[in-house]
Amino acid sequence: MSKVKITETIFRDAHQSLIATRMKTEEMLPIAEKLDRVGFHALEVWGGATFDACLRFLNEDPWERLRKIRKVIKNTKLQMLLRGQNLLGYKHYPDDVVEEFVKKSIYNGIDIIRIFDALNDVRNLVTAVNATKKAGGHAQTAISFTISPVHDIDYYVKKAKEMEEIGADSICIKDMSGILLPYAAEELIKKIKEEVDLPIELHSHFTSGIANLTYLKAIEAGVDIIDTAISPFALGTSQPATEPMVASLKDTPYDTGLDLNLLNEIAEYFRPIRDKYLKEGLLNPKVLGVNAKTLIYQVPGGMLSNLVSQLEQQGSLDKFEKVLEEVPKVREDLGYPPLVTPMSQMVGTQAVFNVILGERYKMVPSEIKNYVKGLYGRPTIPISDEIKKKIIGDTEVYEGRPADLLQPQLEQLKNEIKEYIEQEEDVLTYALFPQIAIKFFQYRQTSKYKIDNTLLDIEEKTYPI
- Report pLDDT digits (tens) over 8-65: 999 999 999 999 899 999 999 999 999 999 999 999 999 999 999 999 999 999 999 9
Please, which pLDDT band fits residue 299 given cuts at 50, 70 and 90? Answer: confident
Instruction: Give the total residue count for the chain.
Output: 465
pLDDT at 306 over 80: no
pLDDT at 462 over 50: no
pLDDT at 301: 65
pLDDT at 457: 62
pLDDT at 377 over 50: yes
Cβ burial of 106 (10 Å; 0-12, 13-18, 19+) is buried
pLDDT at 68: 98
Answer yes or no: are the C-beta atoms of 20 and 284 closer than 8 Å. no
Please, which pLDDT band fits residue 459 given cuts at 50, 70 and 90? Answer: low
**pLDDT digit string (tens) for 424-454?**
999 999 999 999 999 999 999 986 777 667 6
Task: Provide the CA 342 distance to its chain's centre, in angstroms.
Answer: 10
SS3 356: helix
Structural domains in the chain plus CATH codes: 3-283 (3.20.20.70), 298-399 (1.10.472.90)
Q: What angle do CA 417, 421, 425 make, to 5 degrees?
A: 105
**Segments in 73-152 forming alpha helices (H):** 95-107, 126-134
Least confident of 128-142, 215-229, 258-272, 283-297: 283-297
Question: Between β-strands 77-82 and 112-116, what pairing exists: parallel, antiparallel or unpaired?
Answer: parallel
Cβ burial of 354 (10 Å; 0-12, 13-18, 19+) is buried
pLDDT at 464 over 70: no
SS3 18: helix
Quick one: what percent of the chain has pLDDT higher than 70? 95
pLDDT at 322 over 70: yes
pLDDT at 129 over 80: yes
Q: What is the mean pLDDT of the chain?
A: 93
SS3 431: helix
**pLDDT digit string (tens) for 160-194?**
999 999 999 999 999 999 999 999 999 999 999 99
The model's pTM is 0.94
pLDDT at 455: 58
Q: What angle do CA 273, 277, 283 make, to 5 degrees?
A: 125
Please, which pLDDT band fits residue 463 given cuts at 50, 70 and 90? Answer: very low
pLDDT at 237 over 80: yes
Question: Between β-strands 112-116 and 138-144, what pairing exists: parallel, antiparallel or unpaired?
Answer: parallel
Least confident of 108-112, 292-296, 322-326: 292-296
Quote the CA–CA distance of 348 and 330 in Å, as a whole number. 9
Q: What is the DSSP string of 271-287?
A: HHHHHHHHHHTSS-GGG
**pLDDT digit string (tens) for 66-97?**
999 999 999 999 999 999 999 999 899 999 99
Contacts of 462-465 with CB under 8 Å at 24 or more apart are: 463/29, 463/30, 463/32, 463/33, 463/72, 464/30, 464/32, 464/33, 464/34, 464/72, 465/30, 465/31, 465/33, 465/34, 465/269
Quote the CA–CA distance of 316 and 334 in Å, as a whole number. 25
Those residues with Cβ within 8 angstroms of residue 394's Cβ, 6 or more apart along the chain or in another chain: none
Please, which pLDDT band fits residue 317 given cuts at 50, 70 and 90? Answer: confident
Average pLDDT over residues 322-329: 92
Quote the CA–CA distance of 385 and 393 in Å, as a whole number. 10
pLDDT at 311 over 70: yes
